[in-house]
Amino acid sequence: MAAPWDSIKILADPTRLRILRLLSQENLSVGELQEILEMGQSRISSHLALLRQGGLAAVKRDGKKTIYSAAPELPHGTRRLLDAAFDAIAGEPETKTDERNLARVVEKRRRSVEQYFNTLAGRLGKNYCPGRSWEAVARLLFKLVPRLRVADLGAGEGMLSQLLARRAEFVWCVDNSPRMVAFGSESAKKHGVANLEYRLGDIEAVPLDAGSVDFALFSQALHHAQHPDAALREAWRILRPGGSVLILDLLQHDFEKARELYADQWLGFSENTLFGWLVEAGFTGIDIEIVAREPAPPHFETLLASATKPA
């Protein structure tokens, strides 16, 4: 066990102090620490090695995983030193972000045993099955949806909205492109969809009344927003208490050409960033998972997030 002054040297690095504070709350793998801190594996492993050498962290094997924890027993002086250091950084923005991300990672771990549908999604479509297609499955699922007032934010041509309208009480499609609004309106009229209305507007300033919808949807629209966090706050505003938001978007990537090819403002989002914005907007019951990965380069991955406005 290192002497207290050696512990002071070890904890002088902010990252090591953040890591140890996390480990004092939950046993974590290197991968989970990467996800919480959004840092590289080698950097985190180097800090963990120093914490172990100083007797401040412990490690054990759990199957194929290596799990780290805070040292279970520390001298009284070292324990007091740690408590004082943890108290000193408790109000820092980085600490609050760490705690929020830790809660999400722990919940994600808990839910990993419930990932039946992830397994199903990995198999569906790999082998030909007559009569089974994503369109057919989508139509089946829409039949299960209760009659709701829906806002499709960044609706584009509105094909998804037209499917939703078959079951929904009413669907408002919001898009900032006059041509998209004209095309979507004409398409809905052509297909006899009477309970769907297009409105020209920005998803950061939605032209709908507060508390007017049960369900808000962003389908590959959020990465086109200048300020996605503002768009999520708008979703909160227009939702009734107890209403839900659903977000389908890209996981953060480094394909810069997407800005030119697809007019993307953002190169996707990390799970932590999206989670943080939803929390700040006031949502609860947040669930975020990666639901798809394209086989061809640049291998875009798709995030599915859901959250609820408290009743």
CATH number of the domain bearing residue 250: 3.40.50.150
pLDDT at 289 over 50: yes
Residues 286 and 197 placed together within one structural domain of the fold: yes
Q: Of the ranges 25-39, 58-72, 75-89, which is most confident? A: 25-39
| Residue after which a domain boundary falls, among 79, 113, 147 | 113
298 part of a folded domain:
yes
Q: What are phi and psi of 68, to 5 degrees?
A: -110, 150
Instruction: Yes or no: say if 177 and 211 are a contact pair by the CB < 8 Å rule.
Output: no
Residues 156 and 100 placed together within one structural domain of the fold: no
Q: Is 24 exposed, middle or buried (0-12, 13-18, 19+ CB in 10 A)?
A: middle
Residues 212 and 289 placed together within one structural domain of the fold: yes
Q: What is the mean pLDDT of residues 212-230?
A: 95
pLDDT at 27 over 80: yes
102 part of a folded domain:
yes
Q: Where residue 116 falls among pLDDT bands split at 50, 70, 90?
A: very low
Lookup result for tokens 């004082």 = 84
Chain centroid to CA 219: how far? 14
| Residue after which a domain boundary falls, among 63, 83, 113 | 113
**Overall number of domains in the chain:** 2
Residues 94 and 231 placed together within one structural domain of the fold: no
Q: Outline where the chain has alpha helix (H).
A: 4-11, 14-23, 30-37, 41-53, 76-89, 93-111, 116-123, 134-144, 159-165, 178-190, 228-238, 258-261, 271-281
Residues 132 and 92 placed together within one structural domain of the fold: no
119 part of a folded domain:
no
What residue numbers bound the domain in which 34 lies?
4-113
Residues 267 and 232 placed together within one structural domain of the fold: yes
Instruction: Yes or no: say if 256 and 267 are a contact pair by the CB < 8 Å rule.
Output: yes
300 part of a folded domain:
yes
118 part of a folded domain:
no
303 part of a folded domain:
yes
| Residue after which a domain boundary falls, among 81, 113, 145 | 113
Residues 91 and 163 placed together within one structural domain of the fold: no
Provide the percentage of residues in the chain whose pLDDT is more than 70: 87
pLDDT of residue 133: 59
pLDDT at 121 over 50: no
Residues 22 and 136 placed together within one structural domain of the fold: no
Q: Where residue 279 falls among pLDDT bands split at 50, 70, 90?
A: very high
Q: What is the mean pLDDT of residues 21-44?
A: 94
Residues 99 and 172 placed together within one structural domain of the fold: no
Which residues make Cβ contacts (< 8 Å) with residue 235, sequence separation at least 6? 151, 153, 206, 216, 218, 245, 281
Picking from 4-8, 119-123, 196-200, 282-286, which range would have the lowest pLDDT averaged per residue?
119-123
Residues 15 and 60 placed together within one structural domain of the fold: yes
Residues 172 and 280 placed together within one structural domain of the fold: yes
Q: What is the CATH number of the domain that holds 11?
A: 1.10.10.10
Residues 157 and 9 placed together within one structural domain of the fold: no
Is the whole model's pTM more than 0.85, yes or no? no
Per the prediction, the chain carries an average pLDDT of 88
pLDDT of residue 134: 59
Q: What is the mean pLDDT of residues 24-43?
A: 94
Instruction: Yes or no: say if 19 and 44 are a contact pair by the CB < 8 Å rule.
Output: yes
How many CA within 13 A on the CB side of residue 109? 15
146-176 residue pLDDT tens: 789 999 999 998 888 998 898 899 999 999 9
pLDDT of residue 109: 79
Q: Where residue 144 falls among pLDDT bands split at 50, 70, 90?
A: low
